[in-house]
Amino acid sequence: MKTRDRLRIAMQKSGRLTEPALDVLKRCGLTFRQSRDKLFCFGEGEPVDLLLVRDDDIPGLIEQGVCDLGIVGRNVLDEFSLTTGVDGAPLKEWRPLGFGRCRLSVAVPQEMAYENATSLAGQRIATSYPGLLGKWLRDAGVDAQVVTLAGSVEIAPKLGTADAICDLVQSGGTLVANQLREVDVLLESEAVLAGPATLPTDERGDMLELLFKRLDGVIQVSESRLLLLQTSRGNLEAVTRLLPGGPQPTLLPVAGQPDQLMLQALCAGEVSWRQLEEIKKAGAREMFVLPVEKMLA
Ligand code: PRT
Ligand code: ZN
């Protein structure tokens, strides 16, 4: 194939991953000229173009070399590697992107007894992920019948075409609405930046390196939180010990209260309510968790 001098990234044309994928690319400083109802978007500032397609087509486009990279759910990527992608070079997950989080789970009717995978022996399981489900069953040494459906998997037990299902779950609302209960998780998924195991080293190599660097910065910032709190000097050690990972916190005096300190810490990830409650118990008060918009160390 003729080599290209511009990078081409495949992403979902219209769906759950579209807006967050465009947002992450925008935060990497990439802007595109063509309107979004076109298949192809020309990159304005940098030599990076977009191909807007159905998410299921993305791994194949990378494998064929039509695109250098793709933004796609790990569920779609792994399913492709286990089924369609057997002939070509394996694809690689280059960066997890932190959005489109969901899990591929087995769910059974509320009343069905379930202990572990062996409970599914001899049962019919409906799924759009025959590759991932088949592998999970094989690894567990369970002989069950995989019923492959393109969609509406969750109604299969009610229709009598399957005894259980294996589908994507996010809030769990769809399962509850269909009187199903989640019993096992096969895969924790999120959107990833996927590409061939070996990236091109021609003109596109430099752009790839730049893109990865910017992306790492964007991901780091989007996962960072600034934690602000007050504590007494006496409790400082106990409070500091509980702070989520990150660089050393900054300490500031509090006017008129010589025993009190204001603490400012950059945390490497989400700060949960539970963590905040623990830190409060250790003697912190006036706590704030703020998102970080930009960071330049
Ligand atoms: O047209 P195209 O083929 O591109 O889109 P699509 O319909 O195949 O994909 P889309 O937009 O629905 O999902 C794209 C990707 O988003 C998936 O491959 C996942 O990686 C990710 N994702 C995250 C989800 C969900 N969350 C999700 N909840 N994909 C699907 N769902 C569905 C799930 O199948 C089930 O029907 O939502 C329902 C469950 O949601 P809860 O919240 O009720 O549990
Ligand atoms: Zn799809």
Q: How far is residue 24's CA from residue 11's CA, in Å, rounded to a whole number?
A: 12
On the question of pLDDT at 41 being above 80, the answer is yes
Region 209-235: mean pLDDT is: 91
> What per-residue confidence (pLDDT) applies to 255?
95
Residue located nearest, by CA, to atom 17 of ligand 1: 73
> What per-residue confidence (pLDDT) applies to 5?
87
Ligand 1 atom closest to Cα of residue 153: 36
Predicted confidence (pLDDT) per residue in 83-106, tens digit: 986 566 689 999 999 899 999 999
Q: Do domains 7-100+191-215 and 102-189 have the same CATH topology?
A: yes
Look over the chain and give the mean of its residue pLDDT values, rounded to a whole number. 93
Is the domain 223-291 a CATH 3.40.630.30 member?
no
> What per-residue confidence (pLDDT) applies to 81?
93
On the question of pLDDT at 55 being above 90, the answer is yes
> What per-residue confidence (pLDDT) applies to 194?
98
Q: How far is the CA of 241 from the centre of ligand 2 (A)?
A: 45
Counting residues of the chain whose pLDDT is more than 90, the rounded percentage is 79
CA angle, corner 157, sides to 151 and 160, nearest 5? 105
**Crossing angle between the packed helical segments 18-27 and 203-223, to the nearest 10 degrees:** 100
Lowest-confidence region among 81-85, 168-172, 259-263? 81-85
Nearest bound ligand to the CA of residue 77:
1
Q: Where are the domains of the chain?
A: 7-100+191-215, 102-189, 223-291
The CATH superfamily of 102-189 is: Periplasmic binding protein-like II (3.40.190.10)
> What per-residue confidence (pLDDT) applies to 125?
98
Q: How far is the CA of 132 from the centre of ligand 1 (A)?
A: 16
Give me the CATH code for the 7-100+191-215 domain, please: 3.40.190.10
Residue among 241, 221, 223 at smallest CA distance from 231:
241
Neighbours of ion ligand 2 (CB under 5 A): 55-56
**Parallel, antiparallel, or unpaired for β 164-169 and 124-127?**
parallel
Region 110-132: mean pLDDT is: 97
- Strand ranges (E), 55-158: 69-73, 91-96, 102-109, 124-127, 145-148
Counting residues of the chain whose pLDDT is more than 70, the rounded percentage is 95
On the question of pLDDT at 240 being above 60, the answer is yes
> What per-residue confidence (pLDDT) applies to 4?
80
User: 246 exposed, middle or buried (CB, 10 Å; 0-12, 13-18, 19+)?
Assistant: middle
> What per-residue confidence (pLDDT) applies to 86?
58
On the question of pLDDT at 19 being above 70, the answer is yes
> What per-residue confidence (pLDDT) applies to 258?
95
CA angle, corner 290, sides to 96 and 215, nearest 5? 25
Q: How far is residue 101's CA from residue 191's CA, in Å, rounded to a whole number?
A: 7
Q: How far is residue 125's CA from residue 104's CA, in Å, rounded to a whole number?
A: 13
Predicted confidence (pLDDT) per residue in 267-281, tens digit: 887 888 999 999 999
> What per-residue confidence (pLDDT) applies to 87?
63
Region 147-162: mean pLDDT is: 97
C-alpha torsion sign, points 44, 45, 49, 55: negative
Ligand 1 atom closest to Cα of residue 15: 11
Residue located nearest, by CA, to atom 8 of ligand 1: 55
Ligand 1 atom closest to Cα of residue 12: 4
State the pLDDT confidence band at 164, using cuts at 50, 70 and 90: very high
Predicted confidence (pLDDT) per residue in 60-88, tens digit: 999 999 999 999 999 999 999 999 865 66
> What per-residue confidence (pLDDT) applies to 246?
67
Ligand 1 pocket test, pick from 170, 178, 189 with the greatest ligand atom count within 8 Å of Cβ, gives 170
Q: What is the full DSSP assignment across 166-206? A: EEEESSSHHHHHTTEEEEEEEEEE-EEEEEESS---SHHHH
Residue of 91 and 201 predicted with greater confidence: 91
Ligand 1 atom closest to Cα of residue 128: 34
Q: How far is the CA of 296 from the centre of ligand 2 (A)?
A: 37
Tokens of residue 136, six digits: 């999970």
Q: How far is residue 54's CA from residue 32's CA, in Å, rounded to a whole number?
A: 19
Residue 13: phi, psi to the nearest 5? -70, -45
Residue 10: phi, psi to the nearest 5? -90, 135
Region 221-242: mean pLDDT is: 93
Claim: this prediction has a pTM higher than 0.75:
yes
On the question of pLDDT at 2 being above 70, the answer is no
Residue located nearest, by CA, to atom 33 of ligand 1: 168
The amino acid that residue 237 corresponds to is E
Residue located nearest, by CA, to atom 2 of ligand 1: 54
